[in-house]
Chains A and B, each alone.
Chain A
Amino acid sequence: MEERIIASKGLYTEFSRKGGAAPTATHYCPGCGHGIIHKLMGEAMHDLGIQDRSVMISPVGCAVFAYYYFDCGNLQVAHGRAPAVGTGVSRAEDNAVVIAYQGDGDLASIGLNETIQAANRGEKMAVFFINNTVYGMTGGQMAPTTLIGERTVTCPQGRDPGYDGYPLHMCELIDNLSAPVFIERVSISDISHIRKARKAIRRALEIQRDGKGYAFVEILSTCPTNLGQNAEQSTRFVNEQMEKEFPLGNFRDLADQTEPICRADSVFKKKAIDDLFNLDTGSSPDAVLDPSFPEVQIKAAGFGGQGVLSMGLTIAHAGCVAQRFVSWYPSYGPEQRGGTSNCSVVISGESIGSPVVQESDVLVAMNRPSLEKFAADVKEGGYILYDSTIGECSIPEGVTGIAVPAIRIAGDAGSEKAANTAMLGIMLALGITGLSAQNFKAALSATFSGKPKLIPLNHVVLESAVSWANENL
C-alpha cells in the first residue's frame, strides 16, 4: 500500500559526525527545543530546494554541533561571530544561502555587536535566534534574556535588574533598523506554537532562497535540564512567563516588496587591474644604478595646508622621472591633521637605506615652528629654505639660510597656495637635488594630473622662482 510519510527532511539520516552508541539520536537533552527547531529548518531547506546552496553556521553553545545534523555545507565558528562569518561567506559567494543558528548568549551577549551590525547592513542571511533564557552548554548561567526574578546558577537569588539589568528584546532592537526584511518572534513550546514557528522559519528561508536580504527569527525555546523543568513545566514556562516578557508576533515582512540583492562578479583579468593604475600611461622608467650620484636628503616641514607633503612627493616624482632611487616618508596621524606636518625625501643613485631623514642636506621650512624644530638637524654645508614672512631667525653655523619670498612669488603668478612650488624652483636653481627643470616640470604635471588647470600655473611659479633665485642669490 502506498503511503505518505512525514519524517525528517533536510537533516542527515544518520549523524555520523556525532557517532557514539546511538548515531541516529541527537546530543541534546530530553525535551530540548533545538531538535524541534532543527527539524523545522531542515524540512524548509529541503522543501525549498536550497540544501546545495546552504551554508549552516554552528555557534558556540549547545548547538555547537548543529553540523552533526544539517545536510548542507557546514561551518563551526567562534562564540558570537556567526553574523560576521556569515557576512564573509555571503559576500564571497553571492548565491550561497547563509544560515546562522545562535543561542541567547552567543547572539545577544558576546555577539550582540555582530548581530546588530549584520542586520543593519541587511546581509543576505537568515538568523535563527534560540532564546531559552539560559546558558545551556556551560551549565545554566544567566543569559541576557533571563527573566526578572528567574534563578540561574549565576543569579541564584533570581535576576535582579538593579544588578543584572533587564532582559534584552532582540526582535524589538532589530526592528529599529531599516535594512532587515523579515523579523518575527515565535515559540516552540507546544504544537500550536510549533506550527506557527514552522511558517516563520520557512518564510525566512524563502527570503534567502530568493536572495532578498536579512531575516531574523527569534524562537522561544525550552531548556528543561538547566531550568529544572519537565516537558509540561517547560511548556508552561514559555507560554506563561517568557511570552509575557517576549511577546510573539511578526514585526516585519517586506519580502513581497523587496527585490533580490545581486552582487557583481569578481574580475581577475590583469588588464583590468593594470588599467586601474593607468599603467600604460602613468608609469615611470625604472631607477638606474649610479653610485656617482650624491645622495640628497631633504626634510620639508610646515603647517597643514601649506603643501609640504605634496612638495616632497613632487621632488620624489622628479627623482623618479630622472631614474633615481627615491623615497618619501611623511609624518602621519593626528600630527598631520592638526598643527605641523613634515616629510622626508631621499634621492639616491643606489637603493636607499633609511627613508627617514635624521640629518638633512636641505630643510624647507614653511613656518617658524618647523624651522625651529628641524634647523639643528641640517648638515654642515646644507641649506635651509624658509619663507621670508617668517622674518628674523637664527641659522646654524655652516648652514646657508635663504629667506625666499615664496608666498609672494606664488601670489604674483596667480595663487599663494603654490608657494611650495616656488621652493622647488629655488632648489632647482641652486642645483641642490641634481635634478633638471624638465624633471621638476614632469613631476608637477604628474602631481596635478587630477587638476590639469593648475599645471601651467605651477610651471610659471617654478620658473619665476628660478628667476628670483638667479637674480638674488
Chain B
Amino acid sequence: MATQLVKGNTAAVIGALYAGCDCYFGYPITPASEILQEASRYFPILGRKFVQAESEESAINMVYGAASAGHRVMTASSGPGISLKQEGVSYLAGAELPCVIVDIMRAGPGLGNIGPEQGDYTQVVKGGGHGNYKNIVLAPNSVQEMCDMVIQGFELAFKYRNPVVVLADGVLGQMVESLQFPEVAVMPEIDTEWAVSGTPETRNNLVSSIFLDFNQLENFNYELQEKYETIKEEEVEYEDHMTKDASIILVSYGISSRICRSAVDQARKEGIKVGLFRPKTLFPFPARELKEIAASRECTFVSVEMSNGQMLEDVRLAIECSRPTELVSRMGGNLITMDQVLEKIRKIAAEEE
C-alpha cells in the first residue's frame, strides 16, 4: 500500500484520477484553488481534459456538457462560487446527470472571508437551486476521506444519475495528512442508454430538464422523490464514537467532528458519558439512527458545527424534538475549540446530575 503526505485539496484530485474522472472544469477561489491547480497539473499528462472556465456558471455548465456526454466530470469551489453554480446544479439534477462537486467551505455570507466555515450546509444539503431536488452530500473529515469520498461520489453519482457534493471546509482542503493511495483505478464506460456523446449509438438520446406538460413534470418530480427515498434507504453512512451508553450525543461532521472526537475522549477521562455521532452522508441524513438513539434513553443532542445551527435543524427533525438539543458553533472563519465543546459537555453533565 502506498502512502504519502498529501494536502486535502490534492487528495480530491487524486480521488478523481483513480475514479476514472476525465474532465475537470473549474474557476479559482480560495480555499479550493489547489483542486483546480492540481487538476491542471495532472489531468493533461494523462490526456484527460481540463479547462479553467471563465466563471463558476460556465464551469458548472461545462460539467453539464461532459456529464451529458456520459463522462465522469468534476468541479470544485467554495461558498460564493457554489452559490453561483446553483443554477447549473438544478439543471444537472433536473436532467438527472451524474457529476461530483467539491465544496471547500469558507466563511460567509457575501464575500465573507476565506477562513473555514460550514455555512454552506443548507444550500448544499437542501438542494440549493430552484426546484424539488436533492444532491447526494458526502462529508469527509480527513485527507483520506477527501480522496475516498470523491471516488465514492462518482459511484453514487452514476448509480443514481444525480449530482454528488463532497462537502468539506477550508481546514480539510488546506491540511496535509497521510493518504493511502487507492488500490484500484476505474476504467469508465459511457452509458449509451442516456448519454449524448456524438456517436451513432447515442444519436436518438436527449438530455433535458424541460417538461412543458404540468402533469408530466409533476410525475417526474414524484419519480425524483422516489429516487431520493431509495437513496435514504440505501446510502446512509455515519461513524459512531462511544455513543452506545452516552447520555450526551455530539452530532458533528467534517473538521468539527475531529475536534469533537478529542473532546469526547477528554470528557470520558473525566467520567462523562458522551459520544460522537458523525454523519458521513448529510443527504441522506442518518435520521433514523438518531431517532433510535433518542428513543432508547434520556439524552441530550449537541450539534457542533461551524454555522448557525443549520445542521441542528436536521437533528431536531430527525429526533422529532423528542429530546433536548443544544448548539455549539463558531462562525466567521473561527474554529470550534476543544475547550468550547468540553465546556458544553460539562455543563450538560452537571445539569443531568
- The interface of chain A, by Cβ under 8 A from chain B, is 17, 51-55, 58, 64, 67, 71-78, 81, 84-93, 95-98, 113-114, 117, 121, 263-270, 272-274, 276-277, 279-280, 282-287, 313, 316-317, 320, 325-330, 332-334, 352-356, 358
* Least CB distance, B114 to chain A, in whole angstroms: 4
Indicate if the CB atoms of A263 and B49 lie closer than 8 Å.
yes
Q: Which partner residue on chain B sits nearest A312 by CB separation?
A: B176
Q: Which residues of A contact B177 (CB under 8 A)?
A: 326-328, 352, 355
Indicate if the CB atoms of A282 and B4 lie closer than 8 Å.
yes
Indicate if the CB atoms of A277 and B255 lie closer than 8 Å.
no
Q: Check A81/B206 contact, CB under 8 A, given A272-B46, A283-B4, A355-B175.
A: no
Indicate if the CB atoms of A117 and B176 lie closer than 8 Å.
no
User: Counting chain B CB atoms within 10 Å of each CB, which of A51, A73, A121, A316 scores highest?
Assistant: A73
Indicate if the CB atoms of A320 and B178 lie closer than 8 Å.
yes
Indicate if the CB atoms of B64 and A268 lie closer than 8 Å.
no
A199 to B21, alpha carbons, bound, how many Å?
Answer: 40
Indicate if the CB atoms of B197 and A85 lie closer than 8 Å.
no
Q: Which residues of B contact A266 (CB under 8 A)?
A: 22, 46-49
A-B contacts besides A73-B206, A269-B185, 17 pairs, CB < 8 Å: A72-B203, A73-B202, A73-B205, A78-B87, A87-B51, A88-B25, A88-B62, A91-B23, A92-B73, A113-B58, A268-B20, A320-B5, A328-B175, A328-B177, A332-B30, A354-B255, A356-B171
Interface pairs A-B: 3 shortest CB-CB: A88-B65, A96-B198, A353-B262
Among B31, B49, B207, B258, the residue within 8 A (CB) of A353 is B258
Indicate if the CB atoms of A267 and B53 lie closer than 8 Å.
no
Indicate if the CB atoms of A55 and B198 lie closer than 8 Å.
yes
Q: Which residues of A contact B203 (CB under 8 A)?
A: 51-52, 71-73
Indicate if the CB atoms of B198 and A84 lie closer than 8 Å.
no
Q: How large is the interface on B (under 10, 10 to 19, 20 to 34, 35 or more residues)?
A: 35 or more
Indicate if the CB atoms of B62 and A91 lie closer than 8 Å.
yes
Indicate if the CB atoms of B69 and A74 lie closer than 8 Å.
no
Q: Which partner residue on chain B sits nearest A273 by CB separation?
A: B17
Question: Is B71 part of the contact surface with A, judged by Cβ < 8 Å?
Answer: yes
Question: Is B283 part of the contact surface with A, judged by Cβ < 8 Å?
Answer: no
Indicate if the CB atoms of A273 and B185 lie closer than 8 Å.
yes
Indicate if the CB atoms of B30 and A85 lie closer than 8 Å.
no
Q: Which residues of B contact A313 (CB under 8 A)?
A: 5, 176
Q: Check A286/B3 contact, CB under 8 A, given A91-B51, A325-B178, A326-B177.
A: yes
A71 to B4, alpha carbons, bound, how many Å?
Answer: 51
Indicate if the CB atoms of B46 and A276 lie closer than 8 Å.
yes
Q: Which residues of B contact A280 (CB under 8 A)?
A: 2
Q: Which residues of A contact B282 (CB under 8 A)?
A: none
Among B3, B4, B66, B180, the residue within 8 A (CB) of A92 is B66
Among A74, A95, A113, A334, the residue within 8 A (CB) of B208 is A74
Q: Check A326/B5 contact, CB under 8 A, given A84-B61, A276-B42.
A: yes
Among B91, B174, B335, the residue within 8 A (CB) of A332 is B174
A148 to B22, alpha carbons, bound, how many Å?
Answer: 47
Q: Which residues of A contact B47 (CB under 8 A)?
A: 263-267
A279 to B181, alpha carbons, bound, how many Å?
Answer: 8
Q: Which residues of B contact A93 (CB under 8 A)?
A: 69, 71, 197-199
* Least CB distance, B301 to chain A, in whole angstroms: 21
Q: Which residues of B contact A277 (CB under 8 A)?
A: 2, 4, 14, 181
